[in-house]
Amino acid sequence: MVDLTNLRHAGIGMTSARTRGRLIERLRNEGIKDETVLAAMNEIPRHIFIDEALGTRAYDDVSLPIGHGQTISQPYIVARMTEVLRNGKQLNRVLEIGTGCGYQSAILAALCERVYTVERIKPLLARARRTFDRLQLYNIMSKVADGTEGWPENAPFAAIIVTAAGPLIPQPLVDQLADPGVMVLPVGDREGQTLMLVRKEGGEVTITAVESVCFVKLVGTHGWKAA
């Protein structure tokens, strides 16, 4: 976990603290109840994770393009997935599949001891790493790899979050989940996706549907094949 006081990056106009505050109020109104998650999202400057040309939309509750056919998730989805993963408890070691621009990674880094994040697109991870350094998020470990294979040498993980949708829940991720442990991930195709909560406890795995979502495809050995 990092000290949130180190993450204050002032903005102006549409990236100001006041604009961020309006987003947090919107998230509360949309049903996000975990104030710890909201505090982290208020401190992490979303505008530095996207292209400067899109800066005026940084604190709108929308997904935005980040290149290579990928997007930064809308703030509500980031907050909701993090809230479900936390369930009011302190996060320890978290595995994230799909680093993207690094925004979800940064939120997690503000809330847990260590984040392990995997991204298959090298230029995206290179950019995310520069942003992590800028924010002094030194508790994030990252690598370029097939995320559907997880990160077995650092398993097990108390929590796993997947930020792209595959046709099924990847078995390697279930295997790398600690007991007890929780995983949040979208499952489905372009016709429809559902955010799923996977719990492992006492050797038993249970799966619960949370809500409908829309994500980019999870590409890899245990996901969709690359185009």
Indicate which residue of 63, 73, 105, 142 is catalytic. 73
CA 111 to CA 201: how far, in whole Å? 23
Query: d(Cα 194, Cα 227) in Å, to the nearest integer?
Result: 23
Tens digits of residue pLDDT in 154-196: 999 999 999 999 999 999 999 999 999 999 999 999 889 999 9
Residue 5 has pLDDT above 60, yes or no: no
Give, as one character, the DSSP assignment of residue 197. E
Q: What is the pTM of this model?
A: 0.93
- DSSP label of 154: G
Q: 45: cis peptide before it, omega within 30°?
A: no
Does the active-site annotation cover 73? yes
Q: Tokens for 40? A: 């982290």
Average pLDDT over residues 114-130: 98
Place of tokens 């979208």: 186
Which CATH number does 60-213 carry?
3.40.50.150
Q: Can you read off the two tokens belonging to residue 181?
A: 């442990």
